[in-house]
Amino acid sequence: MPSEVRHLVDRDQSFPLVRLTGVLDTETAAPVRATLLDVLAGQPEAVVVDVAGLRVRQGDALSVLREVLDETRDWPAARLALCCIGDADGNGAAWTATGWPIWADQASAFAALGPADSGRRVSLELEPFVGAARRARELITETCLRWELAEVAGDACIVATEMVNNVVAHAHTAMRLLLARHGDTVSVAVRDGSPVLPDFTGPVAPTAYGGRGLLLIDAVSERWGRLALTGGKVVWARLKP
């Protein structure tokens, strides 16, 4: 019988709680990765993952958690926590090797994370129409002023304009603009429904038509990247004063 992992996402907590049940092995690692990245792409401040009902059939399948941690270390830079770790299968050391903070139960994990600060994250749903980039810039300018990070607003607007216009011109899907503050840095991200990832190959020839959007993002960002998601992708950038 093929193995299976089921998931339940509870968003009624201070942070999303993901309950994973079933069997984790090399076949089900990919669905676990997809589930966690989908939750993280919503840019929560933190995510708690309850694995009490997850049986690990192959210890090396736990590397998927390390991969998720590495892929999202810069964006969305959410605080992550594993809880309800059992040692029935002798995998205690393997869980620790994932690099995730580990807690005995949900209550301990949520207590360690503390209260949510929703004021550090804003989002805006946009349709792929002319004017979408202007609405994105308005939100970014207003939010950066409120965060007292006006010096980041200009570059953040450049990044958002390129990301949004790329969706309008190529993806043709609804999108979600995500803006977050991480200390003295700001992240800008756009999630859309196209699986096609942007390909950055460096500077383009002066006579080339197009291809400068990612060059602009690369020039003004501290770092940037993209995540492939089920049914789409997210492109993100982090900026600092």
Give the per-residue pLDDT at 212.
60
Give the per-residue pLDDT at 91.
52
Closest among 186, 93, 99, 196 to 144, alpha carbons compared: 186
Q: Quick one: tokens of 174?
A: 């609804």
The per-residue pLDDT for range 40-92, each reduced to its tens digit, is: 999 999 999 999 999 988 878 999 999 999 999 888 889 999 998 764 454 56
In terms of C-beta density within 10 A (0-12 exposed, 13-18 middle, 19 or more buried), how is residue 168 classed?
A: buried
The per-residue pLDDT for range 218-238, each reduced to its tens digit, is: 999 999 999 999 999 999 999
Give the mean pLDDT of 7-11: 95
The per-residue pLDDT for range 94-108, each reduced to its tens digit, is: 788 899 999 999 999
Geometric angle at alpha carbon 195, from 189 and 200, rounded to 5°: 65
Give the per-residue pLDDT at 208.
35
The per-residue pLDDT for range 136-166, each reduced to its tens digit, is: 999 999 999 999 999 999 999 999 999 999 9
pTM of the model: 0.87
Does residue 17 carry a pLDDT above 70? yes
Amino acid symbol at 55: R
**How far apart are alpha carbons 46 and 61 in whole angstroms?**
23
Q: Quick one: tokens of 199?
A: 């390909």
Query: For the chain, how many helices (H) and strands (E)?
Result: 7, 10
Structural domain boundaries of the chain? 5-113, 119-239
Give the per-residue pLDDT at 213.
72
The CA R_g of the chain, rounded to the nearest whole Å, is 19
Tokens 């390129």 correspond to 162
87-101, 121-135, 203-217: range with highest mean pLDDT: 121-135
Residues above pLDDT 90, as percent of the chain: 73
119-239: CATH number:
3.30.565.10
Domain 5-113: CATH superfamily is: STAS domain (3.30.750.24)
Give the per-residue pLDDT at 90.
44
